[in-house]
Chains A and B, each alone.
Chain A
Amino acid sequence: MTALTDERAVTAPSAAPRAWGTARTVLRLHRTALLLWVAVVAGLSGWLVWLTLVTAPAERAAIDCAGEDFCDSTVPGLGFGTPVGWIGMLVAYAFLAVAAFAGGALIGREVESGTARLAWTQSVTPARWLAAKLAVPALVIAGGMTVLVLVFRWSWHSDPHLVFEEWSGAAPFLARGPATVAYALCALAVGALTALLLRRALPALGVSPAVMGLLNLALTRLRPSLWPQVHRTSATVVVTPEHAWVLDEGALVHGRPRTGVPYWNCGGAPAAARRCLDDLGVTGYYASYHPQSHFWPLHLVETAVVLAVAALATAAAFAVVRHRTR
């Protein structure tokens, strides 16, 4: 009964409590999801901290061959690199779970069960309801994602010898910057739009991660073209910089790049090798690649594209609600 009686005072209709009321309602409705998200962020961050502060030094000691006659350094840092790789995967693709949540629990269930109509017949407009439904989770998700990205970056860069994935790998590429946050926000908007269009929880739960998966797949394909590549040709085999993301390399046949020329078969004495190459028509070599310094331009362009999609999906979701209820 006490819970009921402390609501006696009728709140003043000023702007601040109005916004707070809707925000509080959203938090109250999705308390379980909020607690789960906090647990996931804390769990993954804690695991990364443990791996970096406890596992990594032990691994380093194990592969530190100084002063020993024989040691096996062929499998370095499996105890660190493997779990960090897995966590990177979870962080990079967390947006799929966000899409499922937004499509299913956040909006889909409300539209299907009619509770959206309950909310729309209170004093807040449907547009404000949608704004609160998107803004509150957006803040919570962006906050959690930022923490995960920062902790992951710290772990990843703590010892380059212990991680064996390249920066250009799909998961580490996403998990080390704001693109992860952008994907999560985009998943939120796309999930909301899908649920509003389909009006059913279960189909939206399935369709919105699928849409986000396709978007990610398309951008992964397009990723090398998001920033100008470095093209180099040389009379000798092109030596790409360390950690370069090599996209294409091969031989120039009469000055034109040609793939599948078996120039690597030409060996032996320099003169014989020269003759072999002349027979093949090889006049030089080429390589196209992104040096490691292209990480940020590539990453930020992709972030911008994803944020643009998120903005479009958000605008469309508001248009759907406005059109339906005016």
Chain B
Amino acid sequence: MTSRPTPYALRATALGKRFGRRGAWALRDCSFRLPAGRVCAVVGPNGAGKSTLLALAAGLTTPSEGEVIVLGTDPASARARVGYVAQDKPLYPQLTVAETLRLGADLNPGHWDPSVAEAVVRAGELAPGSRIRSLSGGQRTRVALALALGKRPELLLLDEPMADLDPLARHELMGTLMAQAAQYGTTIVMSSHVVAELEDSCDHLLLVGGGRVRLAGEIDELTEAHARVSASAETADLTGHTVVESRTTGRQLTALIRPDGPLPAEWRTASPTLEELVLAYLRNPRAASLTPAEPADRAGTTTKAGTGNATADTGAAA
């Protein structure tokens, strides 16, 4: 992995955005830190604020409150080092594939690696002379990704990148992205509402719901910090632990908890899968959020506390 000037690719502090002076908040009080070199999944239901968060990081809109630091600087100054693919993959329909890549070269002087972009296009067997308007949705996604990767970004922001790709192309493009991340240490942030799509490739999670960050941290640490327990409903006492979700069926109590201390031996416990974890939090909007604790901030600046209470040991950025 290449050395980096800042330990964090993204750092948000009380970030908020609303559209219009009296509009609803698309994102509110959002604080998290994403260490550089991670592949981060931004997960959440539709309309949760994922796209807003990525657009703020890309410098396409300005925050209504708080700030976001991208690669150690403001989003506008980081522009040349950040790749961004919007959800609807906008491209110029009147250009050909080759002309689109030439546009990438012209608009990214000193940052453009034509071989990377060409390789992505070639893998999709796209003719350089075909017009963008004649391409299918998946082919356009490929060209949009080629344009973003050709820039050789340090941070790649992808909004629902795989939504309209067939499974084969999805697998192949995900492989390209992971190779990019491994070879150049690129930080990748990709949003999706399909958790299974991200489980294998991502090592960091940002769960956004209702315009707030619900979970943030390394996926391993997050799943380790939680336990799926089942016990007898009559004897089990969950007090002392943070309960995300609990359900009683007959005499059986099943719950997803954040244990605070050792659990009784008679309880059956298991580590939740990422999907179980995400679904449990999304089903229970009142469950306490888990975001990285303050002492992990290596830059030395003390930031305002994020949403909810944060457990001190989890999510500490490595």
**Which A residues form the contact surface with B (CB < 8 A)?**
1, 3-5, 7-8, 10-13, 17-18, 20-22, 24-25, 28-29, 31-32, 113-115, 117-125, 323-326
The yes or no answer to B106 lying at the interface (CB within 8 A) is yes
User: Are A114 and B76 CB-contacts (below 8 A) given A18-B109, A21-B109, A123-B107?
Assistant: no
A325 touches B61 (CB 8 A): yes
Q: Which residues of A lie under 8 Å from residue B74 when comparing CB positions?
A: 326
Q: Which of B9-17, B79-87, B276-284 contacts A (4 or more CB under 8 A)?
A: B79-87
Contact assessment for B112 and A11 in the assembled complex, using a CB-CB cutoff below 8 Å: yes
Alpha-carbon separation in the docked complex, A31 to B96 (Å):
13
Q: Which chain B residue has the least Cβ–Cβ distance from A15? A: B109
CB distance from B107 to the nearest CB of A (A): 4
B residues within 8 A CB of A3? 98, 102, 128-129
Identify the closest chain A residue to B113 (Cβ). Answer: A10
27 pairs of residues in contact across A and B, judged by CB atoms under 8 Å: A1-B128, A4-B114, A4-B121, A7-B105, A7-B114, A8-B114, A8-B115, A11-B112, A18-B109, A21-B105, A28-B95, A28-B103, A29-B94, A113-B90, A117-B86, A118-B86, A118-B92, A120-B59, A120-B60, A121-B84, A122-B79, A123-B107, A123-B151, A323-B62, A324-B61, A325-B76, A326-B62
Complex contacts, A18 vs chain B, CB 8 Å: 109
Interface centre among B75, B110, B144 (most CB of A within 10 A): B110
Q: Report if B42 contacts A (CB, 8 A).
A: no
Q: When chains A and B are docked, how far (Å) is the Cα of A86 from the Cα of B84?
A: 50
Known contacts A21-B105, A117-B90, A326-B62; A123/B129 CB under 8 A: no
B128, A115: Cβ atoms closer than 8 Å = no
Q: State whether A119 and B101 are in contact (beta carbons under 8 Å apart), knowing that A29-B95, A326-B62 are contacts in the complex.
A: no
Report Cα–Cα, A12/B108, bound state, in Å. Answer: 10
Interface check B195, CB cutoff 8 A: no
**Interface residues of A, dominant DSSP:** helix
Q: Does B114 lie within 8 Å of A114, measured CB to CB?
A: no
Residues of B within 8 A of A24 (CB): 106
A20 to B102, CA, bound (A): 13
Is the beta-carbon distance between A17 and B109 smaller than 8 angstroms?
A: yes
B69 contacts the other chain (CB 8 A): no
A29 touches B107 (CB 8 A): no
- A123 in contact with B80 (CB, 8 Å): yes
Contact pick for A25, options B76, B106, B111, CB 8 Å: B106
The chain A residue with its CB closest to the CB of B110 is: A13
B231 within 8 A of A: no
Interchain Cβ contacts within 8 Å, total number: 111
Which residues of chain B have C-beta atoms less than 8 A from A119's C-beta? Answer: 107
* A4 touches which of B98, B107, B111 (Cβ 8 Å): B98
B50-75 interface (Cβ within 8 A of A): 55, 58-62, 74-75
Please, which residues of chain A bring their CB within 8 A of the CB of B84? Answer: 117, 121
Task: For the complex, give the distance between the alpha carbons of A22 and B103 in Å.
Answer: 8
CA distance A18 to B80 in the complex (A): 13
A67 to B111, CA, bound (A): 79
8 Å CB interface, B2-32 against A: none
Say yes or no: is B88 at the interface (Cβ < 8 Å to chain A): yes
In the complex, chain A residues whose CB is within 8 Å of the CB of B106 = 20-22, 24-25
CA distance A123 to B107 in the complex (A): 6
Contact A10 B110 (CB under 8 A): yes
Q: Which of A7, A115, A324 is B91 in contact with, Cβ under 8 Å? A: A115
Contact A12–B109 (Cβ < 8 Å) = yes
In the complex, A324→B128 CA distance in Å?
Answer: 34
B272 at the interface (CB under 8 A from A): no
Contact with A121, one of B60, B62, B101 (Cβ below 8 angstroms): B60
- The distance from the CB of B181 to the nearest CB of chain A, in whole angstroms, is 19
A18 CA / B108 CA spacing, docked (Å): 8
Q: Which single residue of chain B is at the shortest CB-CB distance from A10?
A: B112
Nearest neighbor of B121 in chain A, beta-carbon distance: A4
Given contacts A7-B105, A325-B60, A325-B62, contact A114 B98 (CB under 8 A): no
Contact B118 A4 (CB under 8 A): yes
Once the chains bind, are A121 and B104 in contact (CB under 8 Å)?
A: no
Q: Which residues of B contact A117 (CB under 8 A)?
A: 55, 60, 84, 86, 90
Inter-chain contact B110/A32, CB cutoff 8 Å: no
